Structure 1
């Protein structure tokens, strides 16, 4: 009997809706196709000029793909990324993340198309179809950058090795190149940009913290104040200082406008008290306190192992005093063996020295050594 594929409920619904809507869109296009007209479906996809009377399209358009290539990538992304994130966050938090990562980018892209039409008076902007899972795909990459920022993905047998936070910008670059081909429209570029900004903003400032029973974190905490999830960490090293300075200035303006709330200093002190003032624990990652406990346990075992090695080496290097001469006693008539003084002595020091090297073994812990291989 083949093994049963366990798919969480929200991810299962996403895959079903994506398949049904994409097949429906393909069937409508096939029946209405002509060589001299471009087919639009305003009640299924978001069309700025036609879809205002169909408000549900601001959400439904995210789960519609127009060709088999993008539909395949969307299914793989939702299946793998959805299962991971839904199990890490819970179905409710995952559904809220999907709603934010689809509704806000679609709305912002809609407003951008209207703005371009206002300045150019080109009706092509208002008839452009806004559809596809691009905002969800880039949002998944941002979420992975928060959960596993130190992981490295190695491709093509070590030829390419990239940390997870590098993938969102790499994905945006690929989408930009595909927008120059008939495969994707210009709206896909804006969906990728707005999806990246929206998902990072939500995870950074607004997402409730996953409760960790092994830590003393407050259940009312929101966002992720860690340095590893700063906006500049998504960019290469040479431009990172400039991006960090610019993002700080923008954040200060938003705080002054009361659009963003600055982090409480307690958020940083709670994490920096763990021993590293420059690296903060991920508040949104489940089990982070447990990982910290395992790291400390490994370091304690290694220190104990080193002390035992030093102690046994010191005992072995001490000069041994000459044993006293054995006392001579006349043998008793009933004695059948040697006296106690003439019994062979066990060299316990030699035994400890020989076993000291393998007493606990070598304990190693390398938190930056996690790698993901294809």
Structure 2
């Protein structure tokens, strides 16, 4: 216990400092989660969840408990989920809010949490239609920030996906976090640690956050909407082994959505006016993010070229090589020039004795 006490004040001070420097949006979300958790301790859990969480059978008419779309994300009945929510909200405020701004962060929060709740409710309605089990409609409660947590990991993949995670004995990057969160939630459900609504919210939150960031998000420094970079396509979230079939299925779904005008067709702009190279601008691409990816690509290219230079032995420039027509022509001209100079030199040398004086001739003869 003595070894923990010196570090705990430091961690508490660091968390307090992050909280004080955060925006009103981050503070409001954290305070809302903590406040409703303390209320859940002193009230009946079932009544608490029925009033504030999303119930699939009551969110749609005739029940239409629309207010639950605004309250369910702040509901937590376990302290460990409160701690996880608190940490991810602060993380989002530190890493994403400087890029997006407080208003965009609030919009992302509302879209992901409300959208995942509606999509999960639709899933449970279809489960009821398939099984006629009433528990899917009226005994299932959707609540918590699990959808927003996986949404934050998707946003981190978009912005700093190439950064390495702290050393845990595994070579993991930030771009691996979304799939890890999804798999962990499924395993926890199989072990009975979380209800079935937890992985459902995470999977739908993953889909909603990616669709919004991919096609609809509008940033001040970006052209158009969304992020159509190849490093942010749907297949990039999965291992390379399974990417081809996933990419085929995702492209098929995207083509169908484009035909029914739900999504816009991908547009690439080519700037051929630049004298040095061709610049390709994708709609919604942040210039800072594009510059970061360009530097990474240049570093990889330089490293590859250096390896090639070390392994390759270049031929000597003195070795004879077959001459091209242009080379033979130039050599012929050079030969003619040399012969002309030689002829001039010989003529001058032949006329040289006649130009000498008589005295010089006598001297040479004697």
TM-score (norm 1): 0.67
Distance in 1 between the 2:67 and 2:114 partners? 10
Equivalent pairs counted in the alignment come to 279
Structure 1 residues not aligned, in runs of 5+: 33-37, 212-216, 300-374
Change in Cα spacing, 1:192 to 1:10, as seen in structure 2 (3 Å) is same
Distance in 2 between the 1:149 and 1:120 partners? 41
Higher relative CO (Cα under 8 Å, sequence separation at least 6) belongs to 1
1:77 to 65, 88, 99: 88
Q: Which moved further from structure 2: 4-13 or 228-237? A: 4-13
3-state SS in 1 of match to 2:126: helix
Please state if 1:264 is matched with 2:267.
yes
1:230 to 224, 228, 233: 233
Query: Superposed, which structure 2 residues align to 1:182-197 within 5 Å?
Result: 182-197=192-207
Q: Is the 8 A contact 1:63 1:131 kept in 2?
A: yes
**Higher helix proportion:** 2
CA RMSD of aligned residues (A): 3.1
Distance in 2 between the 1:249 and 1:95 partners? 32
Aligned to 1:288: 289
Aligned to 2:105: 94
Query: Superposed, which structure 2 residues align to 1:191-340 within 5 Å?
Result: 191-211=201-221, 218=223, 221-266=224-269, 269=270, 283-285=284-286, 287-288=288-289, 291=292
2:37 to 11, 22, 30: 22
Q: Is the 8 A contact 1:147 1:285 kept in 2?
A: no
Q: Is the 8 A contact 2:52 2:72 kept in 1?
A: yes
Distance in 2 between the 1:255 and 1:224 partners? 16
2:51 to 43, 46, 49: 43
Question: Larger Rg: 1 or 2?
Answer: 2
Please state if 1:138 is matched with 2:150.
yes
Query: Superposed, which structure 2 residues align to 1:97-176 within 5 Å?
Result: 97-126=108-137, 127-156=139-168, 159-176=169-186
Change in Cα spacing, 1:240 to 1:27, as seen in structure 2 (3 Å) is same
Q: Is the 8 A contact 1:11 1:86 kept in 2?
A: no
Residue 249 (structure 1) shift? 1.0
